[in-house]
Amino acid sequence: MAMHPTALSKADRLKLLLAEGFFPSQLPPCFTSHNLAEKYSKVVSRWDKLKPNRCVEDTECERYSVARVGHGRRPISIPNPVSQFYLSRFISNNWGNIYRHLQKSRISLSKPQFKRDIGRAISITAASEIAEQKLLRSAGARFALVTDISQFFPSLYTHAIPWALHGKSVSKDKRNRKNPKYYGNTLDELARACQNAQTIGIPIGPDTSHIISEILGVAIDLEIKKRLKKWPRGLRHVDDFYLFFDTEAEAVKGLASVTSSLQEFELRHNILKTRIIPVQLLNEDSWTHGIGAFEFSYDVAGQRKDIHRYFDLLFDAEKKNSDENVVLYGLRKLQTQIIKRPNWPIFQAYLFRCILQYPNTIQDVATIVATYIEHNFPVKNFRAQWANILNGLIQQYAHVEGHSEVAWLLWLSNLLDVRLAKESVGALEKIHSSVCILLGLHLEKRGLLQRKLKRSSLGDYRDSKALYKSSWLLTYEGARQGWLPEVASLVKNDQYFGPMLNEGIGFFSETGNVAPIFQLKREHDSISHPFNDEYFDDDEDISNYFDFSDIAENYLNSRRRSISHSRDDEDEERDNTVQIDISSLWDDIPL
């Protein structure tokens, strides 16, 4: 059931958008906007005196490139906190009107709802539920129209936002542009202010963009209904349409209606992904059934065999479905299992294979590794192997601007106390990513780089307008952390960022950690004896001792984060020499 718009207050919604809906989920957990959510009230009165309801500067987002299946990439955005604050506040204040607009569609399965404690500010129908909805809504139909909106977020015309909310003619009337009744015009203006006044595209990543895109999506749904003179059977999930018809001719007419409706808002459908097929051919994800149904033994010897069998199944399915997220799906299934300590070397060897072959799995592997370190597994006993892999991959992906890969590899280096070679530092200096450079500066502080980063190679973070350009995060956090003292006065004297600095608002936390995939229950109602760490070594089924994180696949890629305690000061002594030789990593681990 959809949450009533008044279930949360304006302040609650704003805090959620700032705390959980600001940074993209693909960033390592040391990047957090919770400080901004907690302390914005201490600076906003000063901001509003400069210009009520928006930043005096148009700002730029930072582009952050994320690995997808194969060699594909997804460009997402890190917004400027000032302009993003004003956009978030406006949406929070006008949520009642927006909510009523969103309820007008009968076919949308991506209507956002504000929710607490889910890892994001909003939720929409999980991708894992769409297959079942397609089955239910196609019942009795013979043909399916499958299509999507081409480059929905990057090509969205911001002037179409008020068109979607109020109608095109009303929105274009100059007399209505400052009328608060037609709030879509202000929403258009604030969306543009986040992207240097551009009218084409909205950033991928912030939860505000999912709300804006759904405003357009619902208007498109209504236009389709008007053209067909009735609601079609089927569904839309964000930019994907699955519509069902009795005849092929009706499906062709449906496609014409979708195409014309998109054109009303300066959008177009993706020709390459558009097809009209018999309904029985919709079963596209059958490979998930075998992987999802796989059961692991809980005794050590049986589990060891099952680990081999499972990864054989996984890699074989990937070969047959190379355009799908097979291995990533398989790793998330594994997050419902507890690996026994004697089996860790075998299991870890397969994790090595995953991150070497499938870059879009690095984030999930990092989450798994962090969990087992928390439970005292011998992960750091394999530091030499990790050092070879991390150094090799950082050098590989830094040269091709693989931001998500490099960021999570650097985060793993920090987690595992791996010292990076000079070649890795040199590669890092060439990457255009504040996220990666800040992680590198943190490693430098900890003595985990063989040489210091050359400040002259780190881009235009010293520019007088850097805080409003794509390097805002590097400039602000570099000054706040004391890593880039040469920009301290620039930040301190800025009319927006100076007050944030004075109030201790930060976007990087050295203690930020991923929430574990499983953790020991606080109370054991059904267990008569306390958990012993040695149970990880025996044949007992210990799953009842633990709570497991919810890992249901979600379009928004929710990732909960936790703040861990400070690192133990008594770190093990580190080897100062790192050899890069990936071909000879595991002499005694069967691969």
Q: Where are the domains of the chain?
A: 10-282, 287-513+580-584
Rg (CA), the chain: 25
Write down the residue that tokens 């699955």 correspond to.
242
Average of pLDDT values for 532-550? 90
Which residues, in sequence order, are CB contacts of 382 under 8 Å at separation 6+? 345, 348
Q: CA separation (Å) from 494 to 82, 84, 112, 194, 464?
A: 12, 17, 35, 18, 10
pLDDT above 90: residue 560: no
DSSP class of residue 180 equals: G
pLDDT above 70: residue 375: yes
pLDDT above 90: residue 409: yes
pLDDT digits (tens, 9 = 90+) for 417-442: 999 999 999 999 999 999 999 999 99
pLDDT of residue 566: 37
Q: CA separation (Å) from 94 to 194, 219, 339?
A: 18, 18, 48
pLDDT of residue 528: 55
pLDDT above 50: residue 574: no
Q: Do residues 574 and 520 lie in contact, with contact meaning Cβ atoms separated by under 8 Å? A: no
pLDDT of residue 55: 96
Q: How confident is the model at residue 570 (pLDDT cuts 50, 70, 90)?
A: very low
3-state secondary structure of 146: strand
Tokens of 24: 């993209």
Q: How far is CA 572 from the centre of its chain?
A: 33
Mean pLDDT of the chain: 90
Q: How confident is the model at residue 555 (pLDDT cuts 50, 70, 90)?
A: low
pLDDT digits (tens, 9 = 90+) for 236-262: 999 999 999 999 999 999 999 999 999
Q: CA separation (Å) from 8 to 4, 86, 96, 210, 374?
A: 8, 19, 11, 19, 35
Q: How confident is the model at residue 287 (pLDDT cuts 50, 70, 90)?
A: confident
User: Considering only 201-210, 284-293, 501-510, 541-550, which range has the smallest mean pLDDT?
Assistant: 284-293
Long-range contacts of 476-484 (CB under 8 A, 24+ apart): 476/500, 476/501, 476/507, 477/434, 477/438, 477/506, 477/507, 477/508, 478/438, 478/441, 480/506, 480/508, 481/438, 481/441, 481/442, 481/445, 481/508, 483/438, 483/441, 483/442, 483/444, 483/445, 484/441, 484/455
pLDDT above 70: residue 184: yes
Q: Do residues 98 and 219 lie in contact, with contact meaning Cβ atoms separated by under 8 Å? A: no
Q: Do residues 390 and 409 lie in contact, with contact meaning Cβ atoms separated by under 8 Å? A: yes
pLDDT of residue 567: 36
pLDDT digits (tens, 9 = 90+) for 445-467: 999 999 999 999 998 999 999 99
pLDDT of residue 172: 85
Instruction: Sort 528 into a burial class: Cβ within 10 Å, 0-12 / 13-18 / 19+.
Output: exposed
Average of pLDDT values for 574-578? 37
pLDDT above 80: residue 557: no
pLDDT digits (tens, 9 = 90+) for 504-528: 999 999 988 888 999 998 765 455 5
Average of pLDDT values for 137-162? 97
Average of pLDDT values for 15-27? 96
pLDDT digits (tens, 9 = 90+) for 192-235: 999 999 999 999 999 999 999 999 999 999 999 999 999 999 99
pLDDT above 80: residue 575: no
pLDDT above 50: residue 81: yes
Q: CA separation (Å) from 549 to 74, 336, 337, 518?
A: 26, 8, 11, 6
